Amino acid sequence: MLGFIRLFIIVIVAQAILYVVVSVYSRSVRREKMEDSADEKIAQGDLDPGLRDAYIEGGMLDYEQSLRKKLIWGVIVLPMAAVLVLIYVTNFG
Amino acid sequence: MRYVKWTIITVLVLLVFGFFHYTLPQRDIVRIVNTYEERQDLNGWTRMFWSSPDDNSDTLANRDVQFIQAIQANGKTMVYRNEDTGWGWPPYFKFDTANLYAEANDAISSKDAPEWYAIRHYGWRNEFLSIFPNAVGLKRVDGPDVRLIPYGNIVMLTLLALFVGFLYRVWAQFRERTIDPLLEDAGETWDAVDERADAARDKARGMWGRLRDRMRR
């Protein structure tokens, strides 16, 4: 039982770190995309340069609601599912 | 310096390779000839090549360990230990040691009427250190020449490579978006300081000096 608790704590801490890293990375990539798309639109004359920041922030708001952001929870869920599968295969498969 | 660098790189590569060679599963095709239980002294540094399956035996200096004796398809002998990994390292989550022992006993066959089994295991056999690979699973196969494809290892190593690639991408993104702008700011500040220093020096040197400077340029 102590072994299980120890493993659980280690895994949870590692997953929490990974979750934070992945979400910061994903947000950063999205912001870069929004910046590029804003610059492109400004160059084509579709966007007023004064609205650049608002355009980017709007895109980031969309991102916060998106499925992509929710999928990052997979970082927590998938390894735990893999452990359950592994336990079954090793002992009962 | 070059030798130091390459020595360090070689040692690191060997350590990583050794770690995965020890930890990832491998399958041998064997004929099982016997099983036995023996009391093992588990003090000393080779302790790390044995399991610490439950919290109780972790503190004991010796305990009984189950073994499976086998003859490989190429005629060489191999002895496996049979221990729980429990919730510990490596993460095989093996709790069915007693069941595997029963299966191994059921799988015993003679030289005259051989039955071949693929035995999944991790770890190393070393006669000098008295260490044994840990058997994880047992499956009947048709004969000694069956070709086994290590799907598990393929998946594991692919996932690992993807993860390393992902970490590299994260680092590149972090550098591009966070570190480089910081360095640029610092660079601009430094240039400004430099220019001011130049101006002050020119002023101090006077008009002739400035003129001479300009002609030299």
Q: pLDDT of A60-83, one tens digit each?
A: 999 999 998 899 999 999 999 999
pTM over 0.95: no
Q: Which of B24, B87, B96, B163 to mutate to test the interface with A (most CBs of A within 10 A)?
A: B87
Nearest to A21 among B87, B95, B170 (CB): B170
Tell me, yes or no, whether B157 and B117 share the same domain: no
CB of B33 closer than 8 Å to CB of B71:
yes
Taking CA–CA distances from A2, the nearest residue in chain B reads B55
Tell me, yes or no, whether B55 and B6 share the same domain: yes
Tell me, yes or no, whether B130 and B177 share the same domain: no
Q: Read off the tokens for B63.
A: 């305990």
Q: Which of B24, B57, B93 to mutate to test the interface with A (most CBs of A within 10 A)?
A: B93
Q: Packing angle between helix A2-44 and helix A74-92, nearest 10 degrees? A: 140
Q: Which residues of B167-194 are buried (b: 16+ CB within 10 A; e: fewer)?
A: eeebeebeeeeeeeeeeeeeeeeeeeee
Q: Which of these three, B114, B148, B182, is where a domain ends?
A: B148
**Minimal CA separation from A3 to chain B, in Å:** 5
Tell me, yes or no, whether B162 and B107 share the same domain: no
User: Cα(B107)–Cα(B105) distance, rounded to whole angstroms?
Assistant: 5
Q: Read off the tokens for B206.
A: 């006077």
- pLDDT for the residue numbered B26: 94
Runs of H (alpha helix) within chain B? 2-23, 97-106, 151-174, 180-216
Tell me, yes or no, whether B65 and B102 share the same domain: yes
User: Chain A contacts of B93, Cβ < 8 Å?
Assistant: 83, 86-87, 90-91
Tell me, yes or no, whether B71 and B120 share the same domain: yes
User: Chain A contacts of B84, Cβ < 8 Å?
Assistant: none
- pLDDT for the residue numbered B62: 81
Tell me, yes or no, whether B120 and B199 share the same domain: no
Pairing of strands B26-41, B62-72: antiparallel
Q: Is B88 on the interface with A (CB under 8 A)?
A: yes
Tell me, yes or no, whether B50 and B141 share the same domain: yes
Q: Which of these three, B148, B178, B195, is where a domain ends?
A: B148
Tell me, yes or no, whether B19 and B37 share the same domain: yes
CB contact under 8 A, B96 and A91: yes
- pLDDT for the residue numbered A1: 75
Handedness of CA B6, B9, B15, B20 (dihedral sign): negative
- pLDDT for the residue numbered B153: 93
The residue with tokens 């979400």 is: A23
- pLDDT for the residue numbered B10: 96
Handedness of CA A89, B92, B37, B30 (dihedral sign): positive
Q: Is B94 on the interface with A (CB under 8 A)?
A: yes
- pLDDT for the residue numbered A73: 93
With a threshold of 0.85, tell me whether the complex ipTM lies above it.
Answer: no
Query: For B141-198, how does the pLDDT look when each residue is reduced to its tens digit (9 = 90+)?
Result: 998 999 999 998 999 999 999 999 999 999 999 998 888 888 888 877 878 777 777 7
Q: How many domains does chain B have?
A: 2
Q: Read off the tokens for B43.
A: 């003090």
The interface residues of chain B toward chain A in range 14-53, judged by CB-CB distance below 8 A, are none
Q: What is the DSSP letter of B36?
A: E
Q: Is A73 on the interface with B (CB under 8 A)?
A: no
- pLDDT for the residue numbered A22: 94
Tell me, yes or no, whether B138 and B153 share the same domain: no
User: Cα(A92)–Cα(A31) distance, rounded to whole angstroms?
Assistant: 47
Report residues of chain B scoring pLDDT below 70: 53-59, 202-203, 205-217
Tell me, yes or no, whether B144 and B162 share the same domain: no
Q: Which of A78, A91, A92 to mutate to test the interface with B (most CBs of B within 10 A)?
A: A91
Q: Which of these three, B100, B115, B148, is where a domain ends?
A: B148
Residue whose C-alpha is closest to residue B73's, from B154, B133, B142: B142
CB of B32 closer than 8 Å to CB of B108:
yes
Q: For residue B181, report the phi and psi dihedrals to the nearest 5 degrees.
A: -60, -40
Tell me, yes or no, whether B86 and B154 share the same domain: no
Q: Is B70 on the interface with A (CB under 8 A)?
A: no
- pLDDT for the residue numbered B57: 58
Report residues of chain A scoring pLDDT below 50: none
Range of the domain at B63: 2-148
